[in-house]
Chains A and B, each alone.
Chain A
Amino acid sequence: MADNKLSWTELRRALAHRAGVNEKEANAFLNALNAQLVDALKQDKQVKINGLGMFKLQAVAPRKSVNVTTGEQITIDGYNKIAFVPEAGVKELIESASTQTNDYMKKAKKQAVDPIQKLGEQADEIKDILGDLGQNPAAPVAEVPAVEEAAPAVEAPAAEVPAAEVPVAEPAPVYTPAPEPVYIPEPAPADEPAPAPKKKESHFMRDTLICFIILILLALVGYFFLREQIGGWIDSLIHEPEVEVVVEEPEAEPEVVIEEWSYDELLRTEKIPEGSRLAWISKKYYGSKAYWPYLYEANKDHISNPSLIKVGTPIRVPKLNEAQKDTTTVTFQKIRERAYEAMR
């Protein structure tokens, strides 16, 4: 606050310096000024000082009031109040000063509000830098194809192209300076004849590779799936009597196991709500998500895939006994396997 105040001493010094008098005189003047101002106010009730304003004594009329504690009616005596009215010119000056400060504040606000503008400027700077750099990296990049294709003529135009391209990209990215560094370096290699196809090729290669792998996987799955059926069928063609036994055996086993599990009591039938799943219903009735395969098992007749159940499908919820809640039993594991298989 000390910086924000003009103290008496400072005023005295400034006055002495400005008016070319010594400090003593200035001090005497200022003291007299104050004393006489009070005196003059007493005398005339108002004092006009050119270049500053008018000091006035305003009479405040006596008024009636009530003593808050006793409720008694009292009269507050009238008194004089000192009022200061700045001169018109001074007032304007102060207000203009206010607009100055306002402008200042607005500027500060603008700076706070307009990071976009700042970013835009930064973007320009980055662009300039990249524009400069664009020519440098262009050279080594251009040299690579030169070695491969033995076409050094490409170098010169390649180096010029990014420089020309950069200003074209400039107007658009004012709002989004971030992607620029991504965009700008691109034109350089893109305009090169050799690296561009290379990039495309790598993409193409990757895609085909993925496709190829997927195809192989599909083929493998298909092969194993068909081998059991067709293989069995072919085998059956070769030696019929034996195959029948072989085919029946694996099928019979799981069927027996599943028949082992059956529920005696039905807790209730719940229509599956939206966004729910078997595991949640299992958690709701059995206290654990782990028993969902039982739910699938009990509703196998109208659920084909336990992970794709239509909303509103009625789910029979069987009662589980303690033995059935043991997830380590062979029966449960078989049931779970079947449920997982159905999911695929």
Chain B
Amino acid sequence: MLTKDFIGKVAGATGMSKKKVEGLLTTCNAILRENLMAGKTVQLQGLGSLEVKEKKERVVVLPHSGERKVVPSKNQLVFKPVANMKDELKKI
């Protein structure tokens, strides 16, 4: 499902206009990004949490040359679903 369809779905559920929902979604995402950038964990009630996790630097061996390389550490955006949602979606 694409964003457009999702917005339509949310608009239908709340009774708001699609435009308003789109605006709200954009703002919401902006807020989420800002907070994530600041290193905060965002909790989405009934859904899960979005978190920035640091992946540590590690040594890899290139299979074709046998060369060893250090992969620098980086941050990753991780979504951790709430147990409820997890269970609900396990079986459809």
Interface residues of A (CB under 8 A from B): 4-8, 11, 14-15, 18-19, 21, 25-26, 28-44, 46-53, 55, 57, 79-80, 82-84, 86, 90-91, 93-95, 97-98, 101-102
Q: Which residues of A are found within 8 Å of B74, using beta-carbon distances?
A: 95, 98
A90 vs B42: C-alpha distance when bound (angstroms): 15
Q: Which residues of A are found within 8 Å of B71, using beta-carbon distances?
A: none
Chain B, range 33-62, C-beta contacts under 8 Å to A: 33, 35-37, 39-48, 50, 52, 54
B16 touches which one: A29, A34, A82 (CB < 8 A)? A29
B52 touches which one: A18, A37, A42, A97 (CB < 8 A)? A97
Cβ-defined contact, B40 with A5, below 8 A: yes
Nearest B residue (CB) for A50: B3
Cβ-defined contact, A49 with B29, below 8 A: yes
- Given A38-B85, A51-B30, answer yes or no on A5-B6 (Cβ-Cβ < 8 Å): no
Q: Which residues of A are found within 8 Å of B89, using beta-carbon distances?
A: 38, 41-42, 57, 80, 82
Cβ-defined contact, B79 with A98, below 8 A: no
Size of chain B's interface in residues, with CB distance under 8 A? 54
- Given A5-B41, A49-B25, A84-B79, answer yes or no on A28-B14 (Cβ-Cβ < 8 Å): yes
Cβ-defined contact, B1 with A47, below 8 A: yes
A308 vs B85: C-alpha distance when bound (angstroms): 90
A8 touches which one: B10, B30, B44 (CB < 8 A)? B44
Within the complex, the shortest CB–CB distance from B51 to chain A, in Å, comes to 9
Chain B, range 17-33, C-beta contacts under 8 Å to A: 20-21, 23-33
Within the complex, the shortest CB–CB distance from B59 to chain A, in Å, comes to 18
Nearest A residue (CB) for B26: A51
A334 vs B31: C-alpha distance when bound (angstroms): 99
The 5 A-B pairs at the shortest CB distance, nearest first, are namely A98-B75, A84-B79, A51-B29, A44-B1, A79-B90
11 A-B pairs with CB atoms under 8 Å apart are A4-B40, A5-B43, A6-B35, A15-B27, A38-B46, A38-B89, A49-B29, A80-B91, A91-B77, A94-B75, A102-B73
